[in-house]
Amino acid sequence: MGKLLDRFLRYVSVETTSDENSESQPSTAKQLNLLKMLRDELQAMGVEAELDEFGYVMATIPSNVDREIPAIGFIAHVDTSPDASGADIKPQIIPNYDGNDIVLNKENNIVLRVSEFPEMQQYKGQTMITTDGTTLLGADDKAGVAEIMYIAEYIMKHPDFKHGEIKIGFTPDEEIGRGVAKFDVKKFGAKYAFTVDGGAIGELEYENFNAASAKIHIQGCNIHPGYGKDKMVNSMLIAMEFNAMLPVEQRPRFTQGYEGFFHLTEIKGTVEETTMSYIIRDHDIAKFEEKKALLISIVEFLNKKYGEVVTMELKDQYFNMRQEVEPHFFIVERAIKAMEMANIKPKVQPIRGGTDGANLSYMGLPCPNIFAGGHNFHGKYEYVPLESMMKATEVILNIITLFQAVEGEE
């Protein structure tokens, strides 16, 4: 496990936060630092690898069997979420975790509490990797990156391990919904792929949210409050009214499973001008369209009430991959079998989020998602058990074995 830990720690030390306000590809140049590192490490192993102008690392390990096997890919993203700082990460390594609360930052009394995250107790006796309470950790998805790199090194050092052609992909900007915007599926060359971007051990997902974003601008009119009667239009109050017209029960705090939500991610305002950002999510496409229609109707209502003061930019981001994966369901079944071979109980569930695999599936590359091992992504309470990461590498190798061992496509 030491080699895998060393890889992970090396990768999280590289700042790779993406930026949704940037128009470049990748959105931040610092992501290229890690992408170049990965390309160079793959080439040093003897793997054919390249980094293109858009920030995609694509690599190929040739087949070492004498019959035709579908090429399979494994993909992870290098960027970390802009929801929390990804700079100067200082991981804490806790061997033989005792099952109790973990003090992340004594000075600021930041504690990873079992009462809040009871799933921690299932990792008693394992090696826990946490933050220091000031940044995120980056296991989303540098755990997946490290796991894929680990199996690449393993395969190159073990020529007796039989496999078909293996494709490896590393992408930027997944966290801002642009991870595969310019990804060349044909060039990548895989017939099927898996993103290694899930959470806890055993997670396997082939359905995800339909997703959209909404950026709202409210133009007020600022008049001296002493003389504002019938003249002042306070854009912040209209923003509050806008948010109050959305169903409270459809906020992330109150939803789970297949339930969708409206999530207010940012608000900035003065009397004169306010901007708001939302993400809209639902697994059911009909309910997803209803959510977008509700936003449009609220804009129309407020403009009728206050006089064309609200504008909205509403964009689809990705769609539920289920309808693209189900016709090739045997790849999900092989992932289930690969977990069972590793003595892992598969947890097949919908993703309450999205992965590069969702868009790739609609681009002609069926791409379910398997666990990378982490918990509490995008914040200071993020952690990953090292043993879960090792199990992820075992599952990847088992998937490769199953694809070369099973004749034909089901």
Residues 6+ apart with CB under 8 A from 399: 72, 194, 334, 335, 338, 370
Q: Where are the alpha helices (DSSP H) in 91-234?
A: 139-157, 185-188
The single residue of 141, 153, 165, 174 carrying the catalytic annotation is 174
For 96, list phi and psi in degrees, rounded to 5.
50, 55
| CA distances from residue 195 to 74, 116, 145, 366 in whole angstroms, order as listed | 6, 29, 10, 10
Three-class SS state of 111? strand
Q: Is 79 one of the catalytic residues?
A: yes
For 329, list phi and psi in degrees, rounded to 5.
-65, -20
Q: In what order do the strands lie in the sheet with 273-282?
A: 261-269, 273-282, 210-219, 310-318
* Start-to-end C-alpha separation, the chain: 35
Q: Where are the alpha helices (DSSP H) in 180-251?
A: 185-188, 235-244
Helix 235-244, helix 285-306: angle, nearest 10 = 150
Helix 2-12, helix 386-405: angle, nearest 10 = 110
What is the Rg, in whole angstroms, of the alpha carbon atoms belonging to the chain?
23
Three-class SS state of 233? strand
For 21, list phi and psi in degrees, rounded to 5.
-90, -5
Contact 142, 372 (CB under 8 A): no
Contact 22, 50 (CB under 8 A): no
Q: Is 83 one of the catalytic residues?
A: no
The single residue of 79, 141, 165, 207 carrying the catalytic annotation is 79
Contact 77, 356 (CB under 8 A): yes
> Which residue reads 């991610």 in tokens?
265
Catalytic residues, by residue number, are 79, 174
